[in-house]
Structure formats: structure tokens, C-alpha cells
Structure 1
Amino acid sequence: MKKSIVFWIERYLYEPDISQRLLSFLLLPLTFIYCLIVWIKYKRAVPFDHGIDVISIGNLSVGGSGKTPLTTALALKYENAAIILRGYGRKTKGLQVVSDGREILCDVLCSGDEAMIYALKVPKAVVIVSEKREEGIKKAKEMGAKIVFLDDGYSKHHIKKLDLLIDVRSKNGFCLPSGPYREKAWSGKKVELLQEGVDFKRAVRIENETENMALVTAIARPQRLDAFLPRVVSRHYFEDHHFFTKEELEEIMKSSKAASLLVTFKDYVKIKDFGINISILDLDLDVDERIFKLIDDYVKGDM
């Protein structure tokens, strides 16, 4: 039931049919109120300098946009880096140090899937989850970080930072609840708008590829994977951040007669200890040097 609702919402936000378009128009009065509240919040915010360079990687819409692989690619280039994120989907609350840059200090239930990706892929970075990002920044400084990468930080207008904003297009151009946009790129707020295919490109590789793979994934808008998929014997989509059980994955392998399960790295971090044969569809990013120059100029104070 939950999965059906999540997928209906994703279609409503990004690929609405006629009835869903009608609903989005009926909700426009609520959208206006929502936008007004968010705009007032933005106008009242006073950016605070935490005494450390903060680079925000964000997007305006709900759902996946490539923030995690982009943040990974950027953070790998810098020494003494910290990555801070909310840790959506984790089973814990409050501030949690996931990695101190030397070892991973908790499991994926504690960290959430995206934070564990960072801990594994950027092993020299401090990784912190915290609903209050300013507390995470303070902790990162205490741990010796010199630069902070803030995952999904555009809306944190009270934090002084460089805003890198991934441009995500939708057939539905409204803000919530009529459309997928959480905010607009507000007039007067300086951002660097990044486009896939221009500022960064995806590089796909498959680890442990087998003849008969069943795709299993729990990412937002899983159809985004279609352009990168090899032949698979079946496809199984779960709601974003779903925590799998070993039993449900074994049943998929049995019913599909699959030799392995093809998963993204975001799925892999949650099932790597299940003892199931896994193939990984890993998406790395090739980032244009212009983006690193933007960051370097910001760090040097030239922006």
C-alpha cells in the first residue's frame, strides 16, 4: 500500500496524467500559501558565517537529482573535508558521526543509506548526519574539517555558503503541493545552476555482472535508471530509502530465476551483508573543472 502511494505521488509530481493535472490546479491556492511562507522564511533569514567554507549541493525539487554522486565527486578532491546531511530514512535522531575520516562508526540503520554511501566512497572525509545542519558544521570544525559539503542545503538560507544547484526539469512546474518544487531560485539569492550533460556527466559501470540479473532498487523515480540498464530478467521498484529484508530479496531471486540482483550503490549499502549474490550498477560523475574552480575561488575569497 505504501509503495503504491509513493509511486502515485511521483507520477503526480513529474509525469501527471489528466486527472492528476486537474488535482494540481485545484491545489493552487494551497501552493500560493506554501510559496508565500517559504519566501518569507527566505527573506527573514540572515546568513551566518560559521568560520569554515561551506559548499551546498542542492536542487529545488523533491526526489532524486544526482546530489549524492555529485557531492561524492566533489568531496573526493579535497583534504580535510566533511559531508553533512540530514540522514533521511535512518532509524536514529539527532547528531551522529557516521565516519571520522578513518573508520565507520555506525551501521546503515543508524546513518541512513546516503550517509553510508559517503562513508564508503569518501573514506577520508568526516561524515555527519544531523537534522540541524549548523550543529553538524560545528562538530565538523571540532573534528578538524577545513571544508564542508552540505548535502541538500539550498533551503538553509541561514547558513553562509556557496550554493550549487542542480537544474531538474519537470513537466509540472508548480511548487508543492501542486508540483514537485520545494522552492524557487529566489531573486537576489546567488546560486550556480548546474546542468547534467554540461557541468557533469554520468559514467556507468557494473560490478559482478551476470547473465541473469534482476533489478531491485529503492531510489526516487527509479525510471531514471532505464537509460543505463543492461538487459535484466525482471524489475522490482521499492519506495525511496526502503530497508530491504533478506527474505523479500531471496523471494525475488527465486521467482525471477536470477543469478544475481542488480542494485545501485544506494541499495547495496543496505544489503551487502545479506550473503546474496549482488551486481552493482554504479554511477560515477565526471565533473567539469569549472565547478572545482568555482569552489576554489570561493575558498580563496574571490567570489
Structure 2
Amino acid sequence: MNSKFHLWIEDYLFFPNAFQKLISFFLVPLTFIYMLIILTKRAMAKQIHFGIPVISVGNIIVGGSGKTPVTIALASKYENSCVILRGYGRQSKGLYVVSQNGKILEDVTTSGDEAMLLAQALPNSTIIVSEDRVKAILKAKELGCKIVFLDDGFSKYHIAKFNILLRPKKEPENILCLPSGGYREPKGFYAQADIELKEDRDFKRIITFKKDNKIIEKLPEKIVLLTAISKPKRLLEFLPKNTIMESFPDHHNFTKEEIIEVTKKYKDYSFVTTAKDMVKLDRFNIENIYLMDLNIKFNNVDFSLLEEYLKDFKEN
């Protein structure tokens, strides 16, 4: 999938033009079928209880809305925590313990970019990738983990859990579900969250730029954003106005040929990328590359419901 096409798809799902709205209208019958499947799955699900707290950090739109940095911010507060995720973009299948208590056991091709980022950012946690979240939770218990965070686990209706839903600061203009719009679940499902966190209201993204692990105050004038994340245009608000963007589909595994082509095309430029991308770009030894480091700051969020949920397990 080339860069222009995947950006066109993201515009169609979130901020469609007149032609894209017309396409969306003709796909409405498929959207109703999709929603019927979602509602049926939810109604028929029988929840499994695991005897340890399970906290889902998810969203109901396609693509990212800060799940990984929010998960890092939350999981870092608890001892013996485990983060479980599917591991999109990895070149492996099945269950893998990516890191255990901070010791990294797999490489990024096995783990996927998000799991490796989590493993590096959470030195006191265990990271597991698995398509089967139930097996992964049981594995976490086997390894002695006391609290589990599910990355993007809201749709796992069969798992008894505490649901934290993230809401983007700019919501999709099209409120319909796939394939007509950018919602994976009906927008009304925000009401099913135990805690709803909206960007800029409940949390902010704090950006710092680093070069060779040192914070820098100003980026070079000629800069290229090199990234493979969902909705990459959202990064441009943190970068100089003349920034050029070279984006790839979410979770894309960069090849040597692609990096050679990009660096030749912009031989007089410096590059900036995200932490999620850097775990895959490190091996290419790109000169003049800057890290766009992202952290989350909560704005007086009331986490009392979460603490009550955790307290119930301590008492039992």
C-alpha cells in the first residue's frame, strides 16, 4: 500500500471530502451488517474471570489515539504488572513473552513495534504478545504477574475487565462504523467505559526531541518526518511548518531498500521519527535522526473507580 493511498483511506474514514462521503453513503448497508455482528457478539459473550485485575486501555476508532503512552503511564505505577497485546506488524504468530521483569527476550521482528516499545519503556513489567488474550492472561498469572493491562482490549467482551476508553481530541466527522466511517464500534459504546479519557481534556501529550539520548531545544530547519503510525498528520502540529512527511502504513516493517531510497531523496535533510518507529529504524544507523519522544500528563483525572476495582482483588 503506497503512502498516498493509505493517507487517502485515513482521510476517508475520519475527515472525508464530498466524493469520499458519497462512497461512505453507498457502503451504509455493509455498515449495518457490521454493527449487527458487533452487537450480537457483545450480547452472546460469556465473561471469563481470572482472579487478577485486568485493565483494558482501548478506543473505538480505527488507529491510534494514545493507547501505548497511556498504557505506559499507568503500568509504570504498579509492581509485577504485565501488558498484553496482539503485536500487530510482527513477523511471528502465537504467544511470546517479549520481556519478563524488564529483561527483553525477543527481537522486534518477533514482538512487533508496539510491544518492543513497551518492553523498553517498562523495565519493571512483563510484556506478552498473543492473538489469544485468554492464553496470554493465564501465562501472565503463571509468571507471577499481579495486574494485567490489555492493549486495545475493549472489544474482548468475553474477558471480565475494567475498561478505560480513550477519546481523540478531534473526533471523526463521520460517526458511522466501518466500512462507512472510522468507528470500529458504535459511538454510543463510550457509555460502556468505566473511565473515559479525552485528549486535551483529561490528558495531554508532552513532546520532547532527543538526539543520541540527549534532549535538544530546536530541530534543524530542513526536516523530514519518517514514520509508520496511524494518522501521521497529527504529528505535524508538534513540528516546524516546513516539515516534509514520508509516511508508511501503520506497523510497516521498513526495508533496507526503502531507507536507502528515502535517505538519498533527502540527502541534505535531517529526519525525525517516533519511539514506535525508532525500535525498527535503529538497525539502519540513519545519520541525523531525531527522536520525537512522547509522554502523557494526566489533568487531575479521578482514578478512584480504578483504585476501588483493584482494592476488591486485594481484599479477596
Same fold (TM over 0.5): yes
State the 1:101 CA deviation: 1.4
1:207 counterpart = 2:214 = no
Matched, 1:27 2:27: yes
Name the CA distance, whole Å, in 1 between partners of 2:278 and 2:233. Answer: 18
Contact 2:165 2:193 survives alignment (8 Å) = no
After the TM superposition, which of the residue ranges 214-223 and 274-283 deviates more from structure 2? Answer: 274-283
The alpha-carbon deviation at position 295 of structure 1 amounts to: 2.3
Residue type at the aligned position of 2:152: D
Q: Distance in 2 between matches of 1:188 and 1:10?
A: 25
Q: Would the aligned equivalents of 1:213 and 1:258 in 2 still touch at CA under 8 Å?
A: no
Answering whether residue 126 of structure 2 is matched by residue 126 of structure 1, we say yes
Q: Is the 8 A contact 1:233 1:258 kept in 2?
A: no
Question: Which residue number in structure 2 is paired with residue 198 of structure 1?
Answer: 201
TM-score by length of 2: 0.90
For 1:86 and 1:156, the matched residues in 2 are separated by 12
Corresponding position of 2:7: 7
* Separation in 1, partners of 2:190, 2:231: 29
Q: Could you tell me how far apart the structure 1 residues matched to 2:156 and 2:252 are?
A: 26
Match of 2:261 in 1: 251
- Which position in structure 1 is the counterpart of 2:143? 143
Q: CA deviation at 1:261?
A: 1.8
Answering whether residue 158 of structure 2 is matched by residue 155 of structure 1, we say no
2: distance between equivalents of 1:5 and 1:97?
A: 35
Matched, 1:241 2:251: yes
In 1, Cα distance between equivalents of 2:300 and 2:125:
21
Report if aligned partners of 2:102, 2:120 keep a CA contact under 8 Å in 1. Answer: no
Instruction: Say whether the 8 Å CA contact 1:82–1:147 is kept in structure 2.
Output: yes
Please state whether the residue corresponding to 1:301 is helix, strand or coil: helix
Flag the 1:187–1:2 CA change in 2: closer, same or farther, 3 A: closer
Please give the per-residue CA displacement for 1:83-121, whole angstroms capped at 9, x wherever unaligned.
000001111011111001131111111000000110000
Stretch of structure 1 that moved more, 101-110 or 75-84: 101-110
Distance 1:74 1:187, change over 3 A: closer
Determine what percentage of the aligned residue pairs are the same residue.
49
Deviation of 1:122 after TM superposition, in Å, equals 0.6
- Pairwise CA distance, 1:5: 3.2
Hey, what's the Cα distance between the residues in 2 that align with 1:50 and 1:88? 25
**Cα displacement (A) at 1:232:** 5.6
Question: In 2, are the aligned partners of 1:172 and 1:180 still within 8 Å (CA)?
Answer: yes
Note the C-alpha offset of 1:253: 2.7
Q: Give the unaligned 5+ runs of structure 2.
A: none
Q: Give the Å deviation of 1:215.
A: 1.3
**1:296 positional shift:** 1.7
Deviation of the 1:245 alpha carbon: 2.2
Task: Tell me the secondary structure at the aligned position of residue 279 of structure 1.
Answer: strand
What is the rounded CA distance, in whole Å, between the counterparts of 1:214 and 1:4 in structure 2? Answer: 16
The 5 Å alignment of 1:76-225 reads 76-168=76-168, 169-184=171-186, 185-186=188-189, 189-208=192-211, 211=220, 212-225=222-235
Distance 2:69 2:3 in 1: 25
Q: For the Cα contact (< 8 Å) 2:165–2:190, is it kept in 1?
A: no
Pick closer, same or farther for the CA change 1:226–1:187 going to 2, 3 Å: closer
The answer to whether structure 1 residue 284 and structure 2 residue 295 are counterparts is yes
**Contact between 2:164 and 2:193, CA under 8 Å: does it hold in 1?**
no
- The corresponding residue for 1:49 is 49
Q: Secondary structure in 1 aligned to 2:301?
A: helix
Q: Separation in 1 of the partners of 2:128 and 2:304?
A: 25
Letter in 2 for 1:171: E
Residue of 304, 308, 315 corresponding to 1:293? 304
SS in 2 for 1:178: coil
Task: Measure, in 2, the Cα distance between the counterparts of 1:291 and 1:136.
Answer: 29
The superposition leaves residues 118-150 of structure 1 with CA deviations (integer Å, 9 ceiling, x where unpaired) of: 000011110000111111100011111111110
What pairs up with 1:250-269 in 2 under 5 angstroms?
Answer: 250-258=260-268, 260-269=270-279
Deviation by residue 1:214-254 (Cα, 9 ceiling, x = unmatched):
21011111001011113665321111111112342233233
Alpha-carbon contact 1:91-1:112 (below 8 Å) kept: yes
Question: 29-38 or 183-192, which moves further after superposition?
Answer: 183-192
Structure 1 unaligned segments of length 5 or more: list them.
none
Counterpart CA distance in 2 for 1:288 and 1:297 is 20
Q: Aligned Cα RMSD in Å?
A: 1.9
